[in-house]
Amino acid sequence: MSTRTTTFAAILLLASGPAFAQNPLTETRPTEPAAKAVKAAPDAPEVQDLNAIIHSLAPIRRPGQEVRQAIDLDIRFRVGSSELSPDAAMQLGELGQALISEALASSRIEIAGHTDASGAAEMNKELSLKRAESVKSYLAENFGIDPERLATVGWGEEKLKDAEHPNSGVNRRVEIVNLTIPESSPAAKGTKRSDGIKFR
């Protein structure tokens, strides 16, 4: 093959490059969608979806048993503050929709703030309560939930999720508890729980 022929063939190949790339038989696809890559970032909050929250909080009626439904949520705050971070909106949106769903609309809910063991214990307890109250305010203002349905408590570092690693991030959480006890439960009929709280 002459030099001229080789040069001409190379020009044709280069000219057909865009058309070749658009050929569906030769098109390549990215191995990992951008959305998944962002979601999988190490610092991304773990967002529990609507169905997971409802499933975890919906009352379970089991004769002879008292079943308390609860779920831990990663609701983020600014460091050392009770101000909700922008990341919190995703999780609070799912939580708010769950609490106004048919399955939970009649339930009374407790919002419990927890911290890790870094910092002074009294300061942690106060901060955890303020964070729980921030969540309550957000839900009431953005989803029209009656504040009377939402109780708040701040446990600080008293109830660590991972006691072996007291400063671990898993201890910094907001626990959502369904306080409504199913009618078939003994507690719903007036019996006392071990903590002395009596339900009617």
In this structure, is residue 98 part of a structural domain? Answer: yes
In this structure, is residue 133 part of a structural domain? Answer: yes
Question: Taking 90 as the threshold, does the pLDDT of residue 3 lie above it?
Answer: no
In this structure, is residue 23 part of a structural domain? Answer: no
Task: Return the residue matching tokens 């006691």.
Answer: 163
In this structure, is residue 200 part of a structural domain? Answer: no
Centre a 10 Å sphere on the Cβ of residue 86 and count the other Cβ atoms it contains: 8
Q: Where residue 168 sits, what CATH number does that domain have?
A: 3.30.1330.60
Banded pLDDT at 21 (limits 50, 70, 90): very low
Tell me the pLDDT tens digit for each residue of 40-55: 345 667 899 999 999 9
In this structure, is residue 68 part of a structural domain? Answer: yes
In this structure, is residue 61 part of a structural domain? Answer: yes
Mean pLDDT (whole number) for 67-84: 89
Residue numbers of the domain that contains 166: 34-189
Tell me the pLDDT tens digit for each residue of 126-173: 999 999 999 999 999 999 999 999 999 999 999 999 999 999 888 999
Domains identified in the chain, total number: 1
In this structure, is residue 9 part of a structural domain? Answer: no
H helices of 75-179, where? 88-99, 121-143
112 close to 155: Cβ distance less than 8 angstroms: yes
In this structure, is residue 14 part of a structural domain? Answer: no
- Residue 58 CA to residue 181 CA, distance in Å, equals 10
Residues near 186 by Cβ (< 8 Å), separated by ≥ 6? 64, 66
Question: Taking 90 as the threshold, does the pLDDT of residue 11 lie above it?
Answer: no
